[in-house]
Amino acid sequence: MIDVILGALVIMGMRIADVSLGTFRTILVVQGKKYPAATVGFFEVLIWIFAMRYIVQNMDDTLNLLGYAAGFGIGNLLGITLEEKVALGYVQLNVISKKLSVQIAETLRESKYGVTMLPAEGKFGGVNIILMILRRRDAKNVIKLINSIDQDAFITVQHSRPYRGFIHGARK
């Protein structure tokens, strides 16, 4: 019985590893990082093949199938968590503040973030849209800074893949 439990745990561990790598690889693909994605993909599939070989040889043990499924679920959670910690790439932040956009822009610039402000027209009159392209790992701090000035600011965050030009703090 101990062998069956250990086998299920090994399968679960391999699935956690390959699914976590798969999640990370997917993010690399989306961001156009083809060589790192290919390298991660190699190890992802290698681990998956070893897990599948073991499962096919031991399909009669239900615990192995449960270990496979549990590893898949946990691997998704772990992969997303790791990717959030690494926070690769860039995001575009769009900020609309009814009355404090100038103060937000000045504070962000003082904090060494690049800011572009555009005039716009809202339902109730003129507003400014603050645009920023920044490293994804900096987004949480920037949002905290914005919220410290205007908790009611409308903020959107979207993936950005810079094509060329200057990004504040880094040359592309």
**Does the pLDDT value for residue 172 go beyond 50?**
no
Q: Residue 20 CB: number of other CB atoms within 10 A?
A: 24
Residue with tokens 């339902």: 123
**Band of pLDDT at residue 21, cut at 50, 70 and 90:** very high
Tell me what the mean pLDDT of segment 29-56 comes to: 91
Read off the tokens for 116. Answer: 């572009």
User: What is the greatest pairwise CA distance in the chain?
Assistant: 72
Q: How far apart are CA 42 and CA 109, in angstroms?
A: 42
Q: So where are the chain's domains?
A: 2-86, 90-171
Give the per-residue pLDDT at 166.
Answer: 67
CATH of domain 90-171: 3.30.70.120
**Does the pLDDT value for residue 165 go beyond 80?**
no
Give the per-residue pLDDT at 13.
Answer: 95
Please name which of 123, 132, 126 lies closest in space to residue 104, comparing C-alpha atoms. 132
Q: How far apart are CA 73 and CA 13, in angstroms?
A: 11
Give the per-residue pLDDT at 171.
Answer: 39
How much is the pTM? 0.68
